Chain A
Amino acid sequence: MSHIFDKLNRETFDHKNKADYAKTAQVGLTENLVRQISAEKNEPRWMLDIRLKGLELFDQLPLPDYGPDLSQLEFDKIIYYAKPADAKNTTSWDEVPEDIKQTFEKLGIPEAERQMLAGAGAQYEAATVYHNLKEQWTKQGVIFEDMDTAVQKYPDLVKKHYMKQCVPVNLHKFTALHAAVWSGGTFLYIPKGVKVDQPMQAYFRMNAKNMGQFEHTLIIIENEAEGHYIEGCSAPKYGSSSLHAGCVEIFVGDNARFRYSSVENWSRDTYNLNTKRSLVGKNSFMEWVGGNLGSGVTMLYPCSVLKGEGGRADHLGIAFAGPGQNQDTGAKVIHAAPRTTSNIVMKSLSKGDGLSVYRGLVHVAPQAENAKVNVNCDALLLSPKSKSDTIPVMNIQNPKTQVAHEATTGKISEDKIFYLMSRGLSEGQAQGMVVNGFIEPIIKELPLEYAVEMNRLISLEMEGSVG
């Protein structure tokens, strides 16, 4: 049995398709463009209004005053919307256009769909190309659709949830931008009591130079429902900047359970400024499992709002900052109800002169009695010039809170390398093995293919065969 990511190497990701369509798309952000996007998608008035609101706020809101330097981002040089001319949404893999298919075949998507998963959606540029959902889920009322289609087919459901209580448009400059130009993404709805045990996945890719990816994922898990959704991202390497300002909103009802897994591997020159947030109901369990590699600059702080009594959120993550990269990632948990639990386990690695930062916030509100908080962040510095920072903020406003916090920073021990080399492993292999061991607690929570992919990607980064 071969692993679907067996043939995966950096070249696979850096393969570029002809991006003719990008040459005709416009550069920069204007009201005209926003209206054009909405018109092309034939959106209802309320959606256009949200876009226009976003555009207005984008101009007003400032860049963040913390984290990596974003001053090099040239907003007027970015293409915010481009659609491969011959792509339309399909349900059968055979109908998908050939060069688009090739990209996904290289990345192993159809095999993943066939072999293990409930359904695979694949996003190419701004159009969602392939979507499929196993019949059994549809019969039970599960909706797994691309976001553009969901706006058309389920307007009430979308309108009720879209960018209101979860991620509001005015949260920050990049949610405003997102609201203005979003396109594509995934809509997942699991009705009351339905438990989907197979993971569902989507895959995004940026192609043309200066493309921005602004996909919106909206997930609604009703009471007593369960599901697991996986997202993976990739982009080829380019000389000028690409911007990713996506958004993920997850609503978890009461007595429900949901896991959101993602492996993000954007190319070296990408700005990955993503916003992900979940509202968690009573006695429910929300899990975030993520791996972040690639991109030049990342700012990513998945947030769980524990608004129901007894709710729980686990955040498990790996961040890898290679030479020249700045991974500013972490987690935010807001305990807004009693007996809530949070568990944050973050592993960060830095190589070369890469900088890996854990930036976390745990807020326990006055009414959140008997909350339990556990934060564990470990950093591994792989090179003499590697950098790491840990900024774990805790705002505990209820005295009956149990808090545990542990942070370690260190290099790989020379003795461990010697031990491994004495068994015939090269120094590189030995370091790779220690790194694999370091991230293992997170990796083992990912579905097999993603675990394999993560390990492969980190090995590639370790070998320095990446740019």
Chain B
Amino acid sequence: MKNILEIKNLKVNLKEENKQILKGINLEIKPGEVHALMGPNGAGKSTLAKVLFDHPSFELTDGRMIFDGREINALSTTERAQLGMFLAFQTPEELSGITVSSFLRSAYNALRKAHDPDFKEVRAFQFKKILEEKMAELKFNPEFADRYINEGFSGGEKKKAEILQLAVLEPKLAVLDEIDSGLDVDAMKLVSEGVNKLIKKGLSVLIVTHYQRILDYIKPDYVHVIIDGQIAETGGPELAKKLETEGFKLD
């Protein structure tokens, strides 16, 4: 089976400081798999998540990233999203004046159009139905659709909103950058249910996290430990539990 994501010997610098953060990452994810990436602060977890999407702060110095059989090194953030990649942000941006519904409708139309140039853009009232359904599943108050995206949202609401976007846009691969931070148990359950539903439909997931707890809800097939820019260890779900008790070995 072809990999949905392949990372080969990836080396990445932080542009501003010209400092190497990733020192040769290798990773393979097959369609439908859930991989967890864990590690101490500064190890490079979030960097990897961002680099997969061509974040402007980072520079690739070596290696390749291949998504769904296609090398994406030279592709823009937009193009990567259009291929079917999605990033749930650790700190989602607040966009004043832009409502959740108008933002999502634009993204929805943009993504569909990228696949099918003849795609007829969805109108506001048609999209409303799609959105309302997904919002109900995540137990969002319907009035959220008219709120300015992430403005005034609590930490938990911001994370839920990321998953709402995931549910609406239906990508092939979702990279969840610390989706569990700031979540109480109820929110964690809702978020996990949302993600699991999509996994059942074939979504592949790379979940970046500090803490083991989320992995009780979103069960990983593989757990990778990243320390100082390299993957130190790979194992099954039990590895996460081991890290919880033993901590990250920083030797």
Contact = CB atoms under 8 A, between A and B. Distances in A.
Report which residue of A418, A440, A441 has the largest number of chain B beta carbons within 10 angstroms of its beta carbon. Answer: A418
B169 A424 contact: yes
Interface of B: 53, 55-56, 76-78, 80-82, 86-87, 89, 92-93, 95-98, 103, 106-107, 110-111, 114, 148, 165, 169
Contacts of B93: 413, 415-416, 419
Interface stretch (A288-296, A335-343, A431-439): A431-439
Contacts of A424: 78, 81-82, 107, 110-111, 114, 169
Interface of A: 413-416, 418-427, 429, 433-434, 436-441
Given A423-B103, A436-B97, 7 more contacts: A418-B53, A422-B53, A423-B81, A427-B78, A437-B97, A438-B96, A440-B97
B96 A440 contact: yes
B74 to A, nearest CB: 15
27 contacts: A416-B95, A418-B56, A418-B77, A419-B92, A420-B95, A421-B76, A421-B77, A422-B53, A422-B77, A422-B80, A422-B87, A424-B78, A424-B111, A424-B114, A425-B107, A426-B78, A426-B110, A427-B76, A427-B78, A433-B98, A434-B95, A436-B97, A437-B96, A437-B148, A438-B96, A438-B97, A440-B97
A413 B57 CA distance: 13
Nearest to B82: A424
B95 A437 contact: yes
Contacts of B78: 421, 424-427
Q: Which 9 A-B pairs give the minimum distances between C-beta atoms?
A: A437-B97, A440-B97, A423-B107, A421-B77, A424-B81, A437-B98, A419-B93, A424-B111, A424-B110
Contacts of B86: 422-423
A295 B212 CA distance: 60
Contacts of A418: 53, 55-56, 77
Contact of B97 (A420, A425, A429, A439): A439
Contacts of B165: 423
Contacts of B106: 425, 429, 433
A426 B106 CA distance: 11
Contacts of B110: 423-426, 429
Contacts of B148: 437
Contacts of A437: 95-98, 148
A12 to B, nearest CB: 20
A408 B77 CA distance: 29
A439 B96 CA distance: 10
Report which residue of A423, A427, A441 has the largest number of chain B beta carbons within 10 angstroms of its beta carbon. Answer: A423
Contacts of A434: 95, 98
Contacts of A413: 93
A421 B81 contact: yes
A438 B93 CA distance: 14
B16 to A, nearest CB: 12
Contacts of B95: 416, 419-420, 433-434, 437
Contacts of B169: 423-424
Nearest to A440: B97
A441 B97 contact: yes
A420 B81 CA distance: 10
A438 B97 CA distance: 6
Contacts of A419: 89, 92-93, 95
A176 B236 CA distance: 84
A71 to B, nearest CB: 39
Given A419-B89, A419-B93, A426-B110, A440 B98 contact: yes
B162 to A, nearest CB: 10
Contacts of A423: 81, 86, 103, 107, 110-111, 165, 169
A376 B182 CA distance: 34
A421 B110 CA distance: 10
A421 B87 CA distance: 11
Contacts of A436: 97-98
A420 B104 CA distance: 10
A27 B142 CA distance: 62
Nearest to A416: B93
A416 B55 CA distance: 11
Nearest to A438: B97
Contacts of A425: 78, 106-107, 110
Report which residue of A418, A422, A425, A439 has the largest number of chain B beta carbons within 10 angstroms of its beta carbon. Answer: A422
Contacts of A421: 76-78, 81
A422 B169 CA distance: 11
A433 B56 contact: no
Nearest to B112: A424
Contacts of B81: 421-424
Report which residue of B87, B95, B97, B169 has the largest number of chain A beta carbons within 10 angstroms of its beta carbon. Answer: B97
A425 B165 CA distance: 14
A416 B82 CA distance: 18
A438 B76 CA distance: 25
Nearest to A444: B97
Contacts of B97: 436-441
A238 to B, nearest CB: 35
A62 B97 CA distance: 43
A234 to B, nearest CB: 26
Contacts of B55: 418
Nearest to A413: B93
Nearest to B80: A422
A415 B111 CA distance: 20
Contacts of A414: 56
A133 B97 CA distance: 35
